[in-house]
Structure 1
Amino acid sequence: MEILDNFPLWAAFMAIIIAQAIKIPLAFFATKKLDFSLFTSTGGMPSSHSAAVTALSTAVAIEHGLDSSLFAVSAVLGIIVMFDATGVRRHAGYHATVLNQLVQDFNKLVEEIKTWPKKENEQKLKELLGHQPIEVFFGALLGIILALLLHTWFIG
């Protein structure tokens, strides 16, 4: 199957998997808690989105050259994804933090006014949505390095 020989695709997928896996030990060192749910979560260090798009662009550049239309498309896509990760998605996470605090404060107020039982299945918004610029940078660096390493494996 030709898809199994698609180096740019494999580079991007491997970048996502490795970046997500790296989040677990990094968080463990910071919090002393082992949290395997980080493997499927958004946000955090390093950015798997940045790793994926830079691995893709690097692999496309290796295979088709920096002057190819494919590289231009992948590079622009990568810039948009990384800009979004540090902008819109990060601010959405800030908004989720504020909204969660408002819900918590409102619930406290309601409890003080009336003694209503607190709902057990209260839904919270996900707060870790976007990335700090340093997380995007290291995700991008991981993607480039990984694509270069995988290229030697695919070609060699």
Structure 2
Amino acid sequence: MSTFYSIVDLLKNTPLIATVLSFLVAQTIKVIFSKSFSMFKKYGGMPSGHAAAMSGLAFSLARCTGYDSPATAVATALLMVVVADAVNLRPYVREDLGHTWLQAFAGIGVGFTVAHLLPAKIPLW
């Protein structure tokens, strides 16, 4: 199998596309609200890019493999860890690193929306 076909197959991976696209959409929303391009690479702010990426992954996997699949369970657990870290742990390390619950839930909403706008049944393997 050539490298070209591997890249094409990678681009058909809906959960991966949903993850990356959710993160990019969340970071773009930060730039629009703050009117500063430097917010694109910041860890804090509205909405949470990490929560968006992980919820995009979890909801896209749920749509592709089923809500009762082990892959969905793992992605959901990872989403909970990422949100808990962003809200409860990072603000203690440095104040501008963390998120409020509202920012984290807004990120989850971005990921949910992106995952449901993409087609669901593209084969993963």
Identify whether the pair has TM-score above 0.5, normalized to the shorter chain. Answer: yes
Distance 1:90 1:15 in 2: 23
What corresponds to 1:17 in structure 2? Answer: 24
TM-score, normalised by the number of residues in structure 2? 0.87
The one-letter code of the counterpart of 2:74 is V
- Indicate the structure (1 or 2) with the bigger Cα radius of gyration: 1
Q: Is the 8 A contact 1:23 1:46 kept in 2?
A: yes
Give the deviation of 1:138 after TM superposition.
0.3
* 1:151 partner SS: coil
Confirm whether residue 6 of structure 1 aligns to residue 7 of structure 2. no
What corresponds to 2:72 in structure 1? Answer: 71
* 1:141 partner SS: helix
Distance 2:37 2:72 in 1: 34
Distance 1:14 1:47 in 2: 13
Give the deviation of 1:91 after TM superposition.
1.9
Give the deviation of 1:93 after TM superposition.
2.0
* 2:118 partner SS: helix
Alignment of 1:7-86 (within 5 A): 7-27=14-34, 34-86=35-87
Distance 2:17 2:92 in 1: 31
Calculate percent identity across the aligned residue pairs: 36
Aligned residues: 115
Give the deviation of 1:92 after TM superposition.
1.5
Moved over 4 A (4+): none
Confirm whether residue 136 of structure 1 aligns to residue 100 of structure 2. no
Give the deviation of 1:130 after TM superposition.
1.1
- Structure 2: give runs of 5+ residues left out of the alignment: 1-7
State the superposition RMSD in angstroms: 1.5
Alignment of 1:72-111 (within 5 A): 72-94=73-95
Cα deviation, 1:100-155, whole Å, max 9, x if unaligned, reads: xxxxxxxxxxxxxxxxxxxxxxxxxxxx2110110000000110011000226x7x
